Structure 1
Amino acid sequence: MTPTFQFHDNGDPGYTKKGRDLNLFRCELNAYHNLREFGVCDRVLVPTFYGHIDRVDPSAFHPWLKHFVHDKHQPSAILLEYLPHAEKLNCENYSEDLFRYAVEGITHIHNAFVHHHDIYPKNMLVVSGTRIVWVDFDVATTFSSMGSCEKPYCDYETELVQSFGKLLNEDKKQGLPPNTKYY
């Protein structure tokens, strides 16, 4: 596989009063650590996670990182599997057989103690027309066990995924072009 990277640079805005992490890089990195540890990457339901680079000095990698030399923050990156020819899930590439991977994926994501927090078809990629891969964990939260607060939110996210399947299926039956509706 050819790796690619997900780049984040929002500095470190810290945490909300309730303790939610606002750092996009840290949120995505924590999610991928859990996803790899719990075998979700191995199930090809999310991109394979190869590692990360945290605050690299771009001048040490001149000329390759020359575009980052004058940035306010040093770049950080998450190294992920490259998914050639992937496209966002929409009503044209939707099928009930394929969509089961979206539901299976969110179930395994939750079993890895991750709440995605950005449940939309745009974050489900159809890869080679044979599988759906979940992406975009930059606002995800991780937790250490499935408690009374975590389980209801998992159920909520799963219901959202299932509702998108129904909406995409209906749009497909109507012959609508992709992205006609915002959901």
Structure 2
Amino acid sequence: MELEDVRPAEIVFEDMLSASIISPVFLVVVRGQRCVMKVHHGRGPPKHNERQDRELDMHVIESTAYRRLKEQGVCEKGIVPKFFGTMDKFDPKPCHPGLDDFINDEYPPSAIFLEYIPNLEMFQRHNYTKARMDNCLMGIRKIHEALVEHGSSWSDNILVVKDDPERVVWIDFSAASTYDKHLITERDKFHLMGEETAVEELQWSLVCLLKTSIP
């Protein structure tokens, strides 16, 4: 399903899934499709004291990563939510009261539309299974094969489906780096390897916690 050229008046808000000040996440219905809408605050050009060598707009960063993951079939594998599209630089007033916090921003917000996956929870000790951990590692490797570095690969962004003993879903690509296969450097590849190592260390920490909890 594609959700492009969406008008704010088409959005029906059902619930707030995350009350983040930076990027709140809502359960919405758009054109008869129930989905997740993640809203990013708008921003202008980089200030003189900000980095000039990389993208800083979280909406551009995250939508670019999801587009690449969709193109490379990672979304269809269920490793990340399916990406439906974006609503760029829109007027939040028609979304009253859901987006009232955005009305007085200097720059207009933008949003991404994603698959709604019910019954998600953080991947932690109480729901650890070897199958889930194996799929967690497989997931980050597939993400890397698409030349996307997640950028914040801690447990908050690794979710499991409560009624599925194996599925793991990676979320939140607002700090991602999406590389061009013709321009990727050895340093970039090193960053990808480092992120995979960090996920492997998460595996060991969960296993160690499980062992220490066994009487």
Q: How high is the TM-score relative to the length of structure 2? A: 0.74
1:175 Cα deviation (Å)? 2.3
1:167 aligned residue (197, 205, 209): 205
1:9 aligns with 2:41: yes
Alpha carbons 1:114, 1:142 under 8 Å: kept: yes
Q: 1:127 deviation in Å?
A: 1.5
| Amino acid aligned to 1:11 | R
- State the partner residue of 2:134: 100
Q: What's 1:155 paired with? A: 193
How far apart are residue 147 of structure 1 and its match?
A: 3.9
Using the alignment, how far apart are the partners of 1:174 and 1:8 within structure 2? 41
Q: Which moved more, 1:7-16 or 1:108-117?
A: 7-16
Instruction: Detail structure 1 runs of 4+ shifted over 4 Å in the superposition.
Output: 62-66
- Structure 1 length as normaliser, TM-score? 0.86
Between the two structures, name the one with larger relative contact order (CA 8 Å, sep ≥ 6).
1
Q: Secondary structure at the match of 1:40?
A: coil
2-structure distance, mates of 1:2, 1:162:
34
Write the distance in 1 (CA, Å) between the matches of 2:80 and 2:44: 25
Q: Is the Cα–Cα contact under 8 Å of residues 95 and 169 in structure 1 kept in the other structure?
A: no
Task: Output one character per residue of 1:5-62: Cα deviation in whole Å (capped at 9) or x when no partner.
Answer: 1111151353614x12221111111100110010100000001100011111123x35
Q: Give the residue type in structure 2 aligned to 1:42.
A: E
The letter of the residue matching 2:36 is T
1:121, CA displacement in angstroms? Answer: 1.3
**Partner-residue secondary structure (3-state), 1:4:** strand
Q: How far 1:103 moved relative to its partner?
A: 0.7
Cα distance in structure 1, aligned partners of 2:128 and 2:146: 26
The correspondence of residues 3-152 of structure 1 with structure 2, limited to 5 A, is 3-12=35-44, 14=46, 16-17=51-52, 19-59=53-93, 61=94, 63=96, 67=100, 68-128=102-162, 129=164, 130-145=166-181, 146-152=184-190
Structure 1 residues 70-79 or 81-90, which shifts more?
Answer: 70-79
Greater share of residues in strand: 2
Counterpart of 1:180 in structure 2 is none
Q: What amino acid is the match of 1:164?
A: L
What is the RMSD of the two structures over their aligned residues, measured on CA atoms? 2.0
Alpha-carbon distance change, 62 to 152 in structure 1, aligned in 2, over 3 angstroms:
closer
Please tell me the residue identity of whatever aligns with 1:5: M
| 1:169 positional shift | 1.3
Identity between Structure 1 and Structure 2 (%): 32
Distance 1:66 1:171 in 2: 41
Higher mean C-alpha deviation, range 92-101 or range 30-39: 92-101
| C-alpha distance 7-97 of structure 1, shift in aligned 2 (>3 A) | same
Unaligned runs of 5+ in 2: 1-32
